[in-house]
Amino acid sequence: MKKFFVLAISSVLLFGCAPGQREAELEGNVVVLDFAAAEQEISEYIYGHFAEHLGRGIYEGIWVGPDSDIPNVNGFRTDVIEALQKLNIPVLRWPGGCFADTYNWRNGIGPRDQRPTMVNTFWGGIVENNHFGTHEFFELCELLGAEAYVNVNVGSGSVREMIEWIEYMTADGDGPMAKLRRANGQEEPWDVKFLGIGNEMWGCGGQMTPETFSQIYRTYAHFARQYGGPEMIRIAAGGYGDHYNWNDVLLANAAPLMDGISIHYYTIPTGDWGNKSAATGFCDSLYFSSFRNAKLMETHVQRHIEILDTHDPDNRIGLYVAEWGIWTDQEPGSVPGFLYQQNSMRDALIASLHFDIFHKYAERIRGANIAQMVNVLQAMILTDGPRMLLTPTYHVFNMYQVHQNATKIPLTIQSEPFTINGESLPSITATASIKDGIVNIGVSNIHATEAREVVIDVSGGNLSQVANAIILTASAINSHNTFDNPNVVAPTEFAAYQLEGGKITITMPPHSIVKLKVN
């Protein structure tokens, strides 16, 4: 991850939080599902996660060590693992992020008490003991049932370093790296589903130009070959949201050597990296600007897909949103550089909005990784020593996991606007999919203060019963869970719906997410 200027906005949002001037809204919210056009499968990997050696994301958040007083299994804290297992996490990206481009994999193998330390120069300058390394990562993937997405060190590493790490992870037989892995206790090779080659090479990965990285990538990709099992999906380090030229140049020079190309994009509530605003201390205006900036994800995705279509008309190369989420100021009193932030009802809606976008463009988007899994940025889980809580974002991942590997049902939306200070956004966003004869529909009302009645036209699907309905909402846009009150924002049963004449009518409170299971 790297700071990058995104969008200049008005001084009232940057330096003040005056109440927004809400204007008269139009009437009518209608979502129409096109069952006849349901063909494209939604990749499960869109629901991927990201665990970087950053702050308390891994150490304390996931790994406490086998001698910890916190209940654990082989060093992995039990409460966190059990909560993450319920999300059906399909893939986990590791070890970074910016950290990946200073990481030497050899320092993270062998007896833990003999592993050399290093300074985490990007994140707080703390000393990393390397107790969580390659073996621990694959054990974590096994515990979670997740595929491995390994990001190799291009910024300060070498091709030889990458070759030997791939051999260590995936080789059978009597080669030197396979022997070393066995000596360290792992007899069988692991499968590496995804290999990220580079990370933010335009920034923390080396301050490169796209022309320079294109040639470097070609060399790394040429030697990136898995020794056993299916071939790895090689993902080239693409640009930030609006780095369209970066991906254009990289694809022009190296498309035949990649299976995917990444983009990163973070929602900055103010649009100003130097003054991102507090995670929970915001009013209507900052709430609105958060969604305006979040919706730029769709603009960036559309443009990067157009570039892909030019260089890869056969749709072979996937687009991977390798880092996404809301990035606010870290919590007062937390360790500088640890990126620990609270997680509110607003952030849950930002997550549902992103899934709606990713599903919409599922023809090209083959994966995405929320930043990050525990205790960092838009996390699923927050910990405080032995205590743990689930965030509103966790609940969205849990509600929406039904869309993994389901068939997308295209839809059209007519929405009343959410208007503040002369700017408007649609207040309703939605997604739908079908799998094994079950239709799952997610609808979000991002309006800060107004309820919305939404008519969902399912007449093309021959549906007769709403089998289950749940809602995620809270009393305020900045409501959040705390260690003393961990269920302020939590899903509950939803009853404000009616199915009649091929239409489901739902009444949604402000800032709410509804998930319907329909037979």
Cβ atoms of residues 281 and 338 within 8 Å: no
Peptide bond preceding 372: is omega within 30 degrees of 0, i.e. cis?
yes
What per-residue string of b and e applies to 116-133 under the rule 16 or more CB within 10 Å gives b?
eebebebbeebebbbbbb
* Closest C-alpha to 431, from 366, 514, 495, 490: 514
As a dihedral over the C-alpha atoms of residue 47, residue 52, residue 55, residue 60, rounded to 10 degrees, the angle is 80
Catalytic residue among 188, 200, 416, 453: 200
Q: Is 200 a catalytic residue?
A: yes
Peptide bond preceding 385: is omega within 30 degrees of 0, i.e. cis?
no
11 φ, ψ to 5°? -65, -25
The full DSSP string for 181-244 is HHHTT--SPPP--EEEE-S-TTTTTT---HHHHHHHHHHHHHH---SSSSPPEEEE---BTT-H
* Closest C-alpha to 242, from 260, 258, 262, 263: 263
- Report the distance separating Cα 409 and Cα 440, nearest Å: 10
Provide the strand spans (E) within 238-281: 260-267
* All residues at 6 or more sequence positions from 363 whose CB lies less than 8 Å from its CB, including other chains: 40, 315
- Tokens standing for residue 429: 């966003």
Q: Is 23 a catalytic residue?
A: no
- Tokens standing for residue 395: 């609940």
| Nearest-5° Cα angle at 288, 287 to 294 | 95
Q: Counting Cβ atoms within 10 Å, is residue 70 exposed (0-12), middle (13-18) or buried (19+)?
A: middle
Catalytic residue among 52, 60, 136, 323: 323
Peptide bond preceding 95: is omega within 30 degrees of 0, i.e. cis?
yes
- Tokens standing for residue 241: 């949201």
Active site residues: 200, 323
